[in-house]
Amino acid sequence: MTTSKSAPQEQPVTAELCDWVTSLQASDIPTHVLQRAKHLILDGIACGLVGAHVPWSEKCIDAIDDYEPAGYCSVLDSNKKYGPLAAAILNGAFIQAVELDDYHSAAPLHSASVILPALFAAAEVQSHGSQKQPRRVVSGLELLTAAIVGFETGPRAGAAMYGAELLSRGWHSGPIFGCPAAAVAAAKLLNIDSAATESAIGIACTQAGGLMAAQYEGMIKRVQHAFAARNGLFGALLARNGYLGIRKVFERPYGGFLAMFSQGNGREPPYQPEEVIAGLGRVWQTTHIRVKLHACVGGCHGQVEALERLQETYPDRFALENLQQIQSMRVALSEPVFAHDGWVPAERPLTATGAQMNAAYIGAAQLVYGQVLLEQFDAAALDDDRVWELIRKTTCVRDEEFDRPNHLCGARVVVEFADGVTVEETVVMPRGFDPPITDEEIREKWRRLARTVGDNARMQRLEEAVLSLEDLEDVSDLFALIRG
């Protein structure tokens, strides 16, 4: 890999993206993309409703409530309302709170936790009105179209920086790619023109950041995608009233978004501005957003499924009472997943955040509990002797086989037993990648999660409202159901 000697030539990709955003109509979007987007919204709401009630989310709303005045923007499963930016932070933190939300496996970000908080707040800004901006009712179809704009933009911004490469270098990629995604989504819903949308993107991108060291301890990792939601919303709200942002923020070689976050990556060229607009209107990234079936980092889903297969193939050897016979376990991962999740735990117990980002813990939990869901990250599981015995026997390594495009979340697991027998399993692409999780499976996931947080009648009405968004005349009806 060689170091670049010169940046790519400027291409007017920012303006072209903004022209596409402002001109896009719902009728331009294929029916299957509209349908998938509704299910992604449903999944994001489900994750947020569950995530609103975990301890770190309750701590977040308690802290914000202590200083933030009441406002008019809704918060998931809460009777409290705040200003637009605070509401976006809380809703994003809730959707990302339990690691069950969506992910894009090629350009890693969690789209719902970035897009939905920005849109929910922007819609209520519109319906509330102000001295300078008249009140306007927002329809479900407008919300759906704006969501797709955001779903399409985030992965493209990520691809322009080689997707998971940022993650390999220790950046939390989603809060970075998510800033322009939230900006264009909010700008679309606020109905601002192409020039103002470009300002919104520039304002959002100059706020971008996110340190992946947040995964080891603390609570702030849960909020970092929400930063992107807030940054994009803030950019769109400023631009709506004529505040000028950075122009050409994607293509500028000095101080531009792609140029700065690509520094030191050793690539040639260091970034690819053309990826920002590649396939717009033809290739729909919305359909490439993955829905999680395991409550952990998406990069380890291949590892979980390799262990599931081994448990099914060798039920006696992997019976709970025989796990002490495991001598060693070797987990081969792609470069970004190894850098992100292949670290050796230094403290016991891990925090819930750290455990959900640690391949050794995730694999051990699968073997002990037969699943990786929310209960595998409660206090008892995090300090389970059986889990920690297996963690100490686990070694994670990087394998270039999984560095190939679309293989980043794959894994190979090799288990050696005390009697010398070795078994192994490889998962090239985890479930939900190819083919993707079906809409029916997303609805099933929604119903499983919804049963844990609200009365059945409300959850049924909420599901119906989301899945018929194109027929909803006023999204205020949706927000009333979200609040509960």
Share of the chain above pLDDT 70, in %: 98
pLDDT value of residue 416: 98
Cis peptide before 269, with omega less than 30 degrees from 0?
Answer: yes
For the stretch 82-135, pLDDT in tens is: 999 999 999 999 999 999 999 998 899 999 999 999 999 999 999 999 989 999
In a domain, 419, yes or no: yes
Same-domain check for residues 238 and 312 = no
Instruction: List, in sequence order, every beta strand (DSSP E) within 321-362.
Output: 326-333
Q: Which of 240, 367, 249 is nearest to 308 (CA)?
A: 367
In a domain, 349, yes or no: yes
Q: Is the pLDDT of residue 8 over 80?
A: no
Strands 394-398 and 326-333: parallel
Give the number of domains in the chain: 2
CATH code for the domain in which residue 138 is found: 1.10.4100.10
For the stretch 253-275, pLDDT in tens is: 999 999 999 999 999 999 999 99
Q: Is the pLDDT of residue 196 over 50?
A: yes
For residue 231, what is the enclosing H or E element? helix 224-240
In a domain, 434, yes or no: no
Same-domain check for residues 379 and 275 = no
In a domain, 433, yes or no: no
**Residue 361 pLDDT level (bands cut at 50, 70, 90):** very high
Quick check: helix, strand or coil at residue 42?
helix
Copy the structure tokens of residue 16: 């072209």
Quick check: helix, strand or coil at residue 198?
helix
Same-domain check for residues 306 and 280 = no
pLDDT value of residue 11: 81
For the stretch 280-312, pLDDT in tens is: 999 999 999 999 999 999 999 999 999 999 999
Residues composing the chain:
484
Q: Is the pLDDT of residue 464 over 70?
A: yes
pTM, entire model: 0.95
CATH code for the domain in which residue 402 is found: 3.30.1330.120
User: How does the average pLDDT of the chain come out, rounded?
Assistant: 96
pLDDT value of residue 10: 72
In a domain, 377, yes or no: yes
**Residue 9 pLDDT level (bands cut at 50, 70, 90):** low
Spatial separation of the C-alpha atoms in residues 110 and 101, rounded to whole Å: 7
Copy the structure tokens of residue 238: 């400023």
Last residue of a domain, one of 427, 446, 471: 427
**Residue 2 pLDDT level (bands cut at 50, 70, 90):** very low
Q: Which of 266, 311, 292, 253 is nearest to 430 (CA)?
A: 292
Quick check: helix, strand or coil at residue 378?
coil
pLDDT value of residue 160: 98
Spatial separation of the C-alpha atoms in residues 274 and 277, rounded to whole Å: 6
- Render the burial of 441-466: b for 16+ CB within 10 Å, e for the rest: ebbebbeebbeebbeeeebeebbebb
Same-domain check for residues 174 and 71 = yes
| Structural domain range at position 334 | 298-427
pLDDT value of residue 115: 98
Per-residue pLDDT, averaged over 199-210, amounts to 98
pLDDT value of residue 454: 78
Cis peptide before 134, with omega less than 30 degrees from 0?
Answer: no
**Rg of the Cα atoms in the chain:** 22
Spatial separation of the C-alpha atoms in residues 241 and 193, rounded to whole Å: 11
Neighbours of 80 (CB within 10 A): 16
Same-domain check for residues 271 and 129 = yes
pLDDT value of residue 3: 41
